[in-house]
Amino acid sequence: MSPISEPQSSYEGLIGSLAADLRPVRPLQPPSARALIWLAAVFAAGLGLAAMADLPAIAARLEAAPDMWLAVSGAALTMVLAAIAAFELSLPDRSQVWALLPLPAALLWIAASGAGCLRTWLVPGTHAAALDESRDCILFILAVSVPLSALLLAMLRRAYPLRPGLAAAIAGLASAAAAATLLNLFHPYDASGSDLVVHAAAVGLVVLANRAYGGRMLRAAGA
Amino acid sequence: MSQPQPQRTGPEDARLSAWMAAAQGGDQAAYVCLLRECTGMIERVARRKGVPADRIDDVVQETLLTVHRARQTYDPARSFTAWLRVIAERRAVDLMRKTGRQALRELHAPLAYERHADESQARQVEPGGKLTEAVARLPPGQREAVQHLLLQERSLAEASAATGRSQGSLKVNLHRALKSLRARLGQAR
């Protein structure tokens, strides 16, 4: 194994510097295990927020409109699958096709939320979100997404994505979906059309901000 | 979407994987052996991806740097050669994209020049100077393109009318001329 006995090549200088720079590293856990750690942090944040939420109002809302579970499940599933995809994309040998993993759940989330809007138009007396309530929603999604994105990006930095912008964008989707899931704790009314647009805009903003700033952060980590 | 776990391809792969695992633990000798073995494999991947011969070194260097920075992402239970091959392929594609973009920019340089002509550049070409001498040595088509588009500051349409050549041919000749001039003047420096 002696390096001295090997034939010299034009890369010897580079190989020598890389060997001199070698420090022990601990191999990363599998992506799903790392995603689980982040999801546990989201769950802990959810428990903290639930202590402040009006849980009977949420229960009444779900009882009145059981199909809302679909929208909540869609958002939660998007969060889980996007987190797994982000950790897969943070590895240099994984396919970019992983970015499509959260797509079916995201479609379910959008479709079920859209169905909720239709109900507010069709069923008289339904309480839809007013403009100031929509503003609160966007603030909530942004405020919760920022720390969750920061945590997720800090975890992704330990890997080495070759497409950092894509990995960061999917991390943004995971964070925004987590924030939208937690928003249900404080959203005891149906989503109106404008409310849905506000939610979509907030999620889009988080994804774009992650792609821009998170991508730069992951690139600076070495990619 | 889910990719099959890359299996070891034989004792060679097992040996490389063991070296990488040792390198993750900080074993420099194993790391040097591993990187030396990697260079030949990366060169083969780059050639197969169609990287020009004079750029293969760049792919090897970029891939070795990536291996170094991403060594914590390698799972010793998986195939090392499969891991390295994917990284080398991506670095080869990145390099070819970058080279393609540069070539495109150079090809469109005459258009950029047409829009942002700097008068002082033409004056820098003095008779008897190195640049004039290098231009004189160019093949006739390339020399013609340089004279009309750069020295006489004509637009592509004007140069085309004056020489009877198509605008595309003038652009290609200018691109080739700039490449040879850069090489010749670079050597002279």
The reply to whether B33 falls in a domain is yes
| Best A87, A93, A94, A157 residue to mutate vs chain B (most B CBs within 10 Å) | A93
Query: What's the CA gap between A39 and B153, in Å, rounded?
Result: 63
pLDDT band for position A147 (cuts 50, 70, 90): very high
Domain containing residue B58: CATH number:
1.10.1740.10
| Pick from A172-176, B53-57, B65-69, B80-84: least confident | B53-57
pLDDT band for position B123 (cuts 50, 70, 90): very low
pLDDT for A4 = 43
The reply to whether B93 falls in a domain is yes
The reply to whether B101 falls in a domain is yes
- Find the mean pLDDT for residues A133-148: 86
Domain end point (choices B90, B106, B122): B106
- Give the domain extent around B152: 109-188
DSSP, collapsed to helix, strand or coil, labels residue A172 as: helix
pLDDT for B64 = 94
pLDDT for B170 = 80
Task: Express as a percent the part of chain B with pLDDT over 90.
Answer: 35
| Pick from A122-131, B27-36, B68-77: least confident | A122-131
B74, B149: one domain: no
B24, B50: one domain: yes
The reply to whether B96 falls in a domain is yes
Domain containing residue B157: CATH number:
1.10.10.10
pLDDT for A91 = 94
The reply to whether B170 falls in a domain is yes
ipTM confidence: 0.76
What residues in A contact B70, CB-CB < 8 Å?
Answer: 91-92, 159-160, 222
B84, B114: one domain: no
Q: Do A222 and B69 touch (CB under 8 A)?
A: yes
B28, B69: one domain: yes
pLDDT for B85 = 95
What ranges make up the beta strands (E) of chain B? none
| Nearest beta carbon to residue B39 from set A2, A9, A160 | A9
| Number of domains observed in the structure of chain B | 2
pLDDT tens for A27-56 read 999 999 999 999 999 999 999 998 888 888
- Find the mean pLDDT for residues B74-96: 92
- Asked if B93 has any chain A CB less than 8 Å from its own CB, the reply is no
The reply to whether B100 falls in a domain is yes
Residue of chain A minimizing CA distance to B5: A94
Domain end point (choices B106, B135, B160): B106
Provide the shortest C-alpha distance from residue B186 to chain A (in Å). Answer: 23
Query: What's the CA gap between B92 and A162, in Å, rounded?
Result: 12
pLDDT tens for B143-180 read 888 878 877 777 777 777 777 777 777 877 887 888 88
The reply to whether B32 falls in a domain is yes
Q: Is A175 left (phi over 0), alpha (psi -120 to 50) or beta?
A: alpha
The reply to whether B6 falls in a domain is no
B36, B119: one domain: no
What residues in B contact A22, CB-CB < 8 Å?
Answer: 23, 26, 28, 31, 68
- Asked if A94 has any chain B CB less than 8 Å from its own CB, the reply is yes
Q: Do B76 and A27 touch (CB under 8 A)?
A: yes
Long-range contacts of A117-125 (CB under 8 A, 24+ apart): A117/A190, A117/A191, A117/A192, A117/A193, A117/A195, A117/A196, A119/A65, A119/A190, A120/A190, A120/A191, A120/A192, A120/A193, A121/A193
B52, B92: one domain: yes
- Asked if B97 has any chain A CB less than 8 Å from its own CB, the reply is no
Give the residue from B177, B108, B169 showing the smallest Cα distance to B137: B177
What residues in A contact B35, CB-CB < 8 Å?
Answer: 11, 15, 18-19
B75, B127: one domain: no
B57, B139: one domain: no
B99, B35: one domain: yes
B141, B162: one domain: yes
- Find the mean pLDDT for residues A64-77: 83
What residues in B contact A28, CB-CB < 8 Å?
Answer: 72-73, 75
What residues in A contact B94, CB-CB < 8 Å?
Answer: 162
Q: Do B90 and A14 touch (CB under 8 A)?
A: no
Q: Is B109 left (phi over 0), alpha (psi -120 to 50) or beta?
A: alpha
Kindly report the pTM of this predicted structure: 0.70
- Asked if A118 has any chain B CB less than 8 Å from its own CB, the reply is no
Question: CA B6, B10, B11: angle at the middle one, nearest 5?
Answer: 130
Query: What's the CA gap between B126 and A171, in Å, rounded?
Result: 58
Provide the shortest C-alpha distance from residue B140 to chain A (in Å). Answer: 39
Domain end point (choices B91, B106, B121): B106
Residue of chain B minimizing CA distance to A87: B73
| Nearest beta carbon to residue A19 from set B28, B73, B75 | B28
Give the residue from B160, B125, B30, B130 showing the smallest Cα distance to A22: B30
B96, B130: one domain: no
B19, B90: one domain: yes
| Best B27, B36, B41 residue to mutate vs chain A (most A CBs within 10 Å) | B36
